[in-house]
């Protein structure tokens, strides 16, 4: 669209082909798309997700499907909330994800917040979401160790 003479008169210092830039434009960091090697239970059609920060410290994130109508889950970085949490991940899951050393694995716990009760939030330590930062593959790993509860309070 060609600007009108009135528009050009209002911006005499800008050539007609110069793009208009907003001062409020935010710099958006690159987004890493995660591919789930196995879909989350109940969501077989959704395998691609992104982690979107949910707080300023990066301790909580939204695991958001890239599909416009896809699900979204609240996840917490396990080491931030449960420093003693060190599940033994099955070798088969590590191989599937491409985890060659544990430094490549990010472990997140799915968080459940009861309606109207943020203080009652719990984390699922029995089935963490494991992300390989090198391959961008992820999966929920169901652990067999009964020491890890399905509903561990986030607050202690």
Closest to 73 measured CA to CA, from 45, 48, 51: 51
CA angle at residue 62 from 57 to 67, to 5 degrees? 145
| Segment 98-127 mean pLDDT | 95
Tens of pLDDT along 50-100?
Answer: 999 998 888 999 999 999 999 999 999 999 999 999 999 999 999 999 999
Structure tokens at 93: 């899951």
Where do the structural domains in the chain lie, given as residue ranges?
Answer: 31-153
Q: Given this structure, which CATH class describes domain 31-153?
A: mainly beta
- 106 forms beta bridges with 131
Mean pLDDT score across all residues of the chain = 85
Q: Quick check: 96 and 137 in contact, CB under 8 A?
A: yes
């Amino acid at each position: 669209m060609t600007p009108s003479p009135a528009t050009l008169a209002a911006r005499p210092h800008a050539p007609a082909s110069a793009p208009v830039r907003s001062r409020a434009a935010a710099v958006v960091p690159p987004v890493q798309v995660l591919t789930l090697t196995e879909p989350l239970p109940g969501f077989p059609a959704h395998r691609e997700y992104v982690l979107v920060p949910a707080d300023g410290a990066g301790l909580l994130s939204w695991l958001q499907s890239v599909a416009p109508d896809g699900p979204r889950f609240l996840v917490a970085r396990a080491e931030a909330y449960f420093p003693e949490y060190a599940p033994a991940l099955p070798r088969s899951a590590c191989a599937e994800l491409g985890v060659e050393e544990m430094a490549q694995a990010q472990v997140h716990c799915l968080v459940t917040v009861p309606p109207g009760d943020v203080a009652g939030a719990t984390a699922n330590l029995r089935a963490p979401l494991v992300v390989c930062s090198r391959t961008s593959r992820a999966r929920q790993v169901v652990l067999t160790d009964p020491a890890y509860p399905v509903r561990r309070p986030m607050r202690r």
